[in-house]
Amino acid sequence: MTRGEIALDELADLRRTHAAGEVRAELVGSEVVLAGWVQRRRDHGGVIFVDLRDRENLVQVVFRPDVSPAAHERAGELRSEYVILVRGTVQRRSPETVNPKMPTGEVEVAVAELRLLNRATPPPFAIEEETDADEATRLRDRVRDLRRPPLQRALRLRHRLYQSVRRTLSERGFLEIETPMLAKSTPEGARDFLVPSRLQPGSFYALPQSPQIMKQLLMIAGFDRYFQIVRCFRDEDQRADRQPEFTQVDIEMSFVGVDDVLEVLEEVTARGCVEAAGVELPRPFPRLAYAEAMARYGSDRPDTRIRLELVDLTDTFRESGFRAFRAAVEAGGIVKCLPIDDAEELTRGAIDRLESFVKKELGARGLGWIRVGGDGTWQSPIAKFLSEAERAAIAERTGARPGSLLFFQADDPIRVNAVLSRLRCDLGRLLARVDPRPWDVLFVVDFPLFERTDEGGLTYAHQPFVAPLEVDIPLLETAPERARGTHYDVVLNGFELGSGSLRNHRSGVQRRIFEILGYPKEESEQSFGFLLNALDTGAPPHGGFAFGHDRWAMVLAGASSLRDVIAFPKTQRGQDIFMEAPTPVPADQLLELGLKTVGRSGEKPGSSEARKGPAELAAPGREAT
């Protein structure tokens, strides 16, 4: 046994009495036993000071040779992240040494006994509030990164959010019911993660993308109100606010309309924010129709604190002599403008950089712009192509005036809105065109039921089980592209916290939607027959919602990535670089499952692409919607 270490059974006579953060002035004169990690050690002329850290905070412990020579001698061995236990007496610090920045800064612990519980290898970065270590380094050493205050706070916030959700829904009569992790693969979302069955060779389970169908079955079974905090899995490309496995707060209710569901969502959201993070949201939550959100902000999850709005100029250019804009309209596209008043600080160089950005990063063909000079003249490469009537219409509809800068996009609606909504957010913040209120919450409602694919067909805008508005059901036969869904979102500070809808509780409507989506009848019956048969047993009207719990915690914690609020996250390549997953498995394990791995053309066996796994090779993936 290494000098300074002790056997576990030697701890039997000494146990922690307080957390470090609990040692305050009211304990002065009391003996305490503390345990934790060495944050830092300082040797000041024979007196050794150690900041002892645990989950609750820091406290300063002091080793003096006149108090305990043995403890003082051993304290000289301590290094960063060593695990220790100390027994000592709480005493006040002298007035000049009080640290008002620490909750425990009025006191310190004079140590009479020190026990070294474990040594530690030197950390690759400081266990501090801020670190200059890159994310890969922190993820590779995740256990120590999790000791840092921001991640500790984030996971505590997640815990409080969990508890708030459970309390609120339980008080309202919801039952928490678990649903299977091993389920049937159905074609309604992103790529499935597949699990091979050893007992049924050649067959696969799917990890659930969400409990969507299962919660509908619970409503058909008569449970009336259900919720679950559930792990979900989607094999899709990663980004800062997306992970292959994530946590969802899943809710479903029977005999409800949209207003009933939104009333519950408002209470769950408001209570969760205040109980987890002390955030008071203004109530009632305003509602914004999808069509209005896209028209004014170019986004179905707008941050309405940003005081810039888009202007649609499609009609102005329908018969324009400006060929580029007219051609976009003739091709079924739109022309929109982002007007910004008093924009003199955006120089020509800044405009050129914006144009390069939208081309390279957002896929735009270009960026049209007009600057209105102090004398009212229009300075722009496109001004010479505009008629006087078009200039007058643009000025009237955008409110352009001296000092204004107008940005234009003419293309298909999706690209136009994506580019201008991004510029709206970025430039709104850059130019301080943001309301001072810290929190902006709203419901977005009345989404379309379907949207066009690149090939011109129809696909679902949310998922295939969304019920259309009752008044729009006849449109399923005559003009399905015009049908509106009962879909709704909760948006907080420009982040979609989650989505929901009423569901199709009549099998005839559900079958018709499958037909519109192009599912052959045989495929519908094979993939969804159990649901369709269940609907025919007598399904109540029902609807629900799913919060993205990770994203909700990310917004409340002020984090920039989901990885900052998840204990053991994946990288953007879907890898856990701390546990080194995924990895190949032994050949005999694959043989038992009746599987083998194969490389793609030009790849060596064992390459990262060749190890994608039998699940993906067995079933081509579907793109997320």
What is the per-residue DSSP string for 302-365?
--TTB----EE-TGGGTT-S-HHHHHHHHTT-EEEEEEESS-TTS-HHHHHHHHHHHHHTT--S
In this prediction, residue 601 carries a pLDDT of 46
Within a domain: 512:
yes
User: Do residues 322 and 390 both lie within one domain?
Assistant: yes
In this prediction, residue 189 carries a pLDDT of 67
What does each C-alpha distance from 506 to 466, 476, 488, 512, 531 come to in angstroms? Answer: 12, 14, 20, 10, 11
What is the total count of domains within the chain? Answer: 3
Which residues make Cβ contacts (< 8 Å) with residue 293, sequence separation at least 6? 299, 300, 302, 444
Provide the 8-state DSSP code for 491: E
- The answer to whether 296 and 424 are in contact (CB under 8 A) is no
Among candidate residues 167, 381, 118, the one with its CA nearest the CA of residue 272: 167
User: Do residues 454 and 425 both lie within one domain?
Assistant: no
CA atoms within 13 A on the CB side of 348: 5
Strand residue runs (E) in 397-469 = 405-411, 441-445, 450-452, 458-460
User: Do residues 357 and 427 both lie within one domain?
Assistant: yes
Mean of pLDDT values over 354-383? 94
- The answer to whether 512 and 466 are in contact (CB under 8 A) is no
Q: Tens of pLDDT along 61-109?
A: 999 999 999 999 999 999 999 999 999 999 999 999 999 999 999 999 9
Within a domain: 310:
yes
- The answer to whether 499 and 489 are in contact (CB under 8 A) is yes
Among candidate residues 283, 239, 301, the one with its CA nearest the CA of residue 550: 239
User: Do residues 316 and 429 both lie within one domain?
Assistant: yes
User: Do residues 418 and 521 both lie within one domain?
Assistant: no
Mean of pLDDT values over 419-442? 96
Cα–Cα distance for residue pair 369/508, rounded to 1 Å: 51
Q: Tens of pLDDT along 167-212?
A: 999 999 999 999 999 999 887 667 899 999 999 988 999 999 999 9
Average pLDDT, the chain: 91
Among candidate residues 424, 426, 377, the one with its CA nearest the CA of residue 403: 377
CATH at residue 113: 2.40.50.140
Mean of pLDDT values over 143-169? 97
Among candidate residues 410, 389, 345, the one with its CA nearest the CA of residue 371: 345
Identify the three-state secondary structure at position 401: coil
Within a domain: 341:
yes
Domain with 352, as residue range(s), is 306-434
Within a domain: 580:
no
User: Do residues 312 and 418 both lie within one domain?
Assistant: yes
Cα–Cα distance for residue pair 553/273, rounded to 1 Å: 9
User: Do residues 357 and 476 both lie within one domain?
Assistant: no
Within a domain: 387:
yes
In this prediction, residue 236 carries a pLDDT of 81
User: Do residues 32 and 76 both lie within one domain?
Assistant: yes
Range from 232-241, 268-277, 420-429, 552-561 carrying the lowest mean pLDDT: 232-241
**620: pLDDT strictly greater than 50:** no
Within a domain: 56:
yes
Provide the 8-state DSSP code for 8: G
- Examine residue 582 and say whether the peptide bond preceding it is cis (omega within 30 degrees of 0): yes
Q: Tens of pLDDT along 320-348?
A: 999 999 999 999 999 999 999 999 999 99
Q: Tens of pLDDT along 5-48?
A: 444 444 557 899 999 999 999 999 999 999 999 999 999 878 99
In this prediction, residue 45 carries a pLDDT of 79
In this prediction, residue 241 carries a pLDDT of 66
CATH at residue 357: 3.30.1360.30
In this prediction, residue 453 carries a pLDDT of 85
Looking only at the bridges linking them, the beta strands covering 204-206 and 194-196 are: antiparallel
Mean of pLDDT values over 124-149? 95
Within a domain: 297:
no
Mean of pLDDT values over 520-544? 94
Structure confidence at residue 254 as a pLDDT band (50, 70, 90): very high
Q: What value, to the nearest 5°, has the Cα angle with vertex 305 and ends 450 and 302?
A: 10
Longest dimension (CA), the chain: 93
Provide the 8-state DSSP code for 115: E
Among candidate residues 621, 613, 623, 620, the one with its CA nearest the CA of residue 196: 613
In this prediction, residue 456 carries a pLDDT of 82
In this prediction, residue 239 carries a pLDDT of 66
Structure-token pair, residue 16? 């922690």
Cα–Cα distance for residue pair 208/586, rounded to 1 Å: 26
In this prediction, residue 607 carries a pLDDT of 37
**624: pLDDT strictly greater than 70:** no
User: Do residues 529 and 409 both lie within one domain?
Assistant: no
User: Do residues 319 and 412 both lie within one domain?
Assistant: yes
Structure confidence at residue 278 as a pLDDT band (50, 70, 90): very high
pTM value is 0.88
| Tokens 């295939």 belong to residue | 464
User: Do residues 409 and 471 both lie within one domain?
Assistant: no
Within a domain: 70:
yes
In this prediction, residue 164 carries a pLDDT of 98
In one letter, which amino acid is 534?
A: A
Share of the chain above pLDDT 90, in %: 84
In this prediction, residue 331 carries a pLDDT of 93
User: Do residues 39 and 104 both lie within one domain?
Assistant: yes
Backbone CA torsion sign across 513, 517, 521, 522: negative
